Structure 1
Amino acid sequence: MTAVSIASHGNVVVISIDRRERRNAIDIDVVRGLQEAFAQFDASDGRVAVLTGVGDDFSVGSDPNVPVTELWRCMPTIGIVTKKPIVTAVAGECRGSAFTLNMFADLCVADESANFCYPEGTHGAWGGLAAGLAARIPHKIAMEILLLSQPISARRAYEAGLVNRLAPRGKHLETALEIARVVATRAPLVMQSMKHFVTDHVLVQSPSEILGRTTRDLTAVRTSQDAAEGKRAMAEGRAPEFVGR
């Protein structure tokens, strides 16, 4: 069974985390699965993506075995490069790295069962990406969530501006699809430029966001065909033939 699935609903793409037996905990398969799924979405005719979790929880956060240095890969705008809008559909637990994943999406629908928590203050370590929360909701509320490390309800998250719509229990995906279908009827280039301007030029990037984006770009160079060709050419004592890929 794959940890991440992708399904098309017309011009809306639904990406689902599916580790129900572990309450959708984010392991390395989920990290890489999300990165691949969003790349597939970006290259497709889909106009909007909806990200959700299968079962009762969006995700309880990182599996203890996943390296924190890999989590940037699955974060929208960091490991995932797309100007297309992303909507999250949240039920149950949304904790830790899943909280951050939701934070980087453009819109969020939560059902009445949802709660949001960034508990890293109780863990003794964090990756720094959640600092961007203070650029997305009021500063004092962001600091409350970060410093107290306590869950907040879907209603509280809605009032804070972390959630766009509250849905009845079990209706989060249905409601998110309704919103996504509306966005998908709008002019795609306008939607993409709006997201690009806000994400890249209006929102303040935390140090970890900058590091994640830099790591993404350098990883693309390091794993490129040209990098492999350069190594072969050096070993064979010839001039390299670069292709720009």
Structure 2
Amino acid sequence: MSYSTPATDEVSSSDSVTAALLFYVHNHILYLTLNRPSVLNAIDLAMAIALHHLLAQARANQTIRAIVITGSGRAFCAGGDLKFAMAANPDTPGDSFLVLTEVLHRCIEEICTMPKPVIAAINGAAAGAGLFLALACDLRVMANTAYLKQSNTSYGLSLPAGGTFTLPRLVGMGRALEIVMLDDPIPAARAYELGLVNRVVEASSLIEQAQSLAERVAQMPVGVLGRVKQLMNQSCYNTLNQQLHLEQQAIAISANSSEGREGISAFIQKRRPAYI
């Protein structure tokens, strides 16, 4: 992946990135770090633009097989930058949110439709849009010292970043409304109990654990994982008959792909398949 090193905090074009979002590629995995630690990695427009740019590049780059998103400092992400919103439009901050969510929601769409696994490594507080950014990811590994918080409704704001879509699907409508209406902080153990995260690990080993998980899924047939991810998302809207038809088409495409042929050959030859 041919990226230039970020040099400024501003994004001037679609070909540039920002120091507010760090990245590197290792073993076919793209690591993205939200990097505004002084404001708990709150998302401003520059960060959202950079995130969308890098996600779009990762989608198109066939050498990238998985993505890990984490935060720098003591937070994963505190959500949308409210100071940015007020400074840009003091009388009508909603106008700022229209602009910010226009880009941020494209990021959520990229993650949810990404034909390869996306993992959130929740190193600290994930609140507001930061929580929903994590929930949009396919897998979530959480430090035992971190916590989740819905936050928006306490500050007079509705939920952005796909929160009304992902939250009830993960925990059910009753729990989702409880989280929204009470806005209690959710510690790591409780987040695991509710099904909001897949794993809780020691904070000191979070990145190592996320890397290990990413490398594991990167060894899988990523094209197939992308198809199954798409099917599961489509199942929210389809009838059983429609879903069965899509499954029929997808398994035929999968079997005819290089991954499918390799997997079938490995099974017959009683060996481990090699997808990379």
| TM-score normalized by the length of structure 2 | 0.69
Matches within 5 A, 1:1-245: 1=8, 2-44=19-61, 45-64=63-82, 65-66=84-85, 67-69=96-98, 70-75=100-105, 76-78=107-109, 81-128=113-160, 129-132=162-165, 133-199=167-233, 201-203=234-236
Instruction: Judging by fraction of residues, say which structure has more helix.
Output: 2
Distance in 1 (CA, whole Å) between partners of 2:217 and 2:48 is: 26
Separation in structure 2 between the aligned mates of residue 58 and residue 71 of structure 1, nearest angstrom? 19
Give the gaps of 5 or more residues in structure 1: 205-245
The superposition leaves residues 17-70 of structure 1 with CA deviations (integer Å, 9 ceiling, x where unpaired) of 001121111111111111011112112211110000011110111111243222
Q: Is the 8 A contact 2:120 2:140 kept in 1?
A: yes
Tell me, what secondary structure is at the counterpart of 1:171?
helix
Following superposition, the deviation at residue 71 of structure 1 comes to 2.4
Query: Whole-Å Cα distance in 2 between the matches of residues 137 and 46 of structure 1?
Result: 31
* Partner AA of 2:163 in structure 1: A
Distance 2:30 2:227 in 1: 20
Q: Which residue of 2 aligns with 1:222?
A: none
**Is the 2:35–2:72 contact (alpha carbons within 8 Å) kept by the matching residues of 1?**
yes
> 2: CA distance between counterparts of 1:83 and 1:120?
30
Alignment partner of 1:78: what SS? Answer: helix
Write the distance in 2 (CA, Å) between the matches of 1:203 and 1:29: 32
Q: Structure 1: which 4+ aligned runs deviate by more than 4 Å?
A: none
User: One-letter code of the match for 1:63?
Assistant: D
| Structure with more relative contact order (C-alpha pairs < 8 Å, separation 6 or more) | 1
1-structure distance, mates of 2:172, 2:209: 25
- TM-aligned CA distance change 1:107 to 1:131, over 3 Å: same
Cα-Cα RMSD: 1.9
Kindly state the Cα deviation for residue 154 of structure 1 after the two structures are TM-superposed: 0.8
Residues 48 and 104, structure 2, Cα contact 8 Å, conserved in 1:
yes
**Matched letter for residue 75 of structure 2:** D
In the TM superposition, what is the alpha-carbon distance from 1:93 to its structure 2 partner? 0.8
Residue type of the alignment partner of 2:25: S
Count of matched residue positions in the alignment of Structure 1 and Structure 2: 204
Label 1:167 to 1:72 Cα distance change in 2 as closer, same or farther (>3 A): farther
- TM norm structure 1: 0.78
Q: 1:72 to 1:134 in 2, by over 3 A?
A: farther
| 1:83 to partner: Cα distance | 1.7
The answer to whether the 8 A contact 1:136-1:203 is kept is no
Secondary structure of residue in 1 paired with 2:204: coil
Equivalent in the alignment of 1:218: none
Structure 2: gaps (5+ residues): 1-7, 9-18, 86-95, 238-276
CA contact (8 A) 2:116 2:223 kept: no
